[in-house]
Amino acid sequence: MQDARFVRVLLRRPDLRTPFPRKFAERLRGQTVVRVARRGKYLLVELSSGDTLVMHLGMSGAFSVAAGPSAERAEADRHDHVVFEMSPHAIVTFNDPRRFGFMDLVTRKAMPGHAALSKLGPEPLSPDFDAAALARACKGRKTSLKVALLDQRVVAGIGNIYASEALHRAGLSPRRKASTIATRTGAPLAGAVRLTAAIKAVLIDAIERGGSYAATRGHRFRVYEREGEPCLTKKCRGTIKRITQMGRSTFFCPTCQK
């Protein structure tokens, strides 16, 4: 997408999770993509105007790309809410059945203080995220460890699936208090060390496999959506259980996760 130019932007509704910015399509038209980046779960498309197109897929959002000299817009699905016609020869369509996606167009001056980005924690695969950083973020927290991992202020980009998977690898119960992996002063305990390593390992493995949707191509998770099945931890005779935390399904082994 880098160096591509926005020829036309079609909005098939006035909003997604929130309304589109004023003159959204007009401000994009004619702009060239300078750089594509990511921060947490947000996609950042830097433009020749100096603005940044900030996007989030939400729960069900997905992009499809038709490229090549013969690229044409497909017959519209009722959930195709935004269509970007790009030059040369590409059509990018955003489909979002649940409309939890998000798009904003932010000026260079406003980016540092953007409400969605300024409070994000460290990137999980960056050197800034280590056991000490995780322990500091969890110090004194009375919430559960699973819920803490989903808080983007603790660590950016960890979703429901990988929180469950990392906790299983680390042998930590999703129900224990987040504060139990840190001392009273915020120093890391053994749990913080194991969990940090597990988060990084889970994400690296997911990237190599093609992401969470790799499960649809034959890959099975260690705990996610395996309720009632045997635990895969060596020498563990436990059975995977599912509970609900903050409205989200959590899968874990009550035998080896303490």
Q: What pLDDT, in 10s, does the model give residues 212-229?
A: 654 545 567 999 999 999
Nearest to 120 by CA among 18, 42, 207, 179: 42
Co-location of 63 and 106 in the same domain: yes
Provide the whole-model pTM. 0.85
We report the CATH number of the domain holding residue 206 as: 1.10.8.50
Q: How confident is the model at residue 1 (pLDDT cuts 50, 70, 90)?
A: confident
What CA–CA distances, in Å, run from 117 to 54, 79, 104, 139? 9, 26, 12, 23
Instruction: Pull the structure tokens for residue 60.
Output: 């069900």
Pair 28, 109: CB distance under 8 Å: no
For residue 227, being part of any structural domain is answered with no
| CA separation for the pair 196, 217 (Å, rounded) | 27
Domain range for residue 135?
A: 131-219
Cα 174 off chain centre by: 19
Instruction: Pull the structure tokens for residue 153.
Output: 């202020």
Residue 209, pLDDT score: 82
Number of domains in the chain: 2
| CA separation for the pair 38, 123 (Å, rounded) | 10
Which residue, of 81, 113, 145, is where some domain finishes? Answer: 113
- Whether the predicted pLDDT of 74 surpasses 60: yes
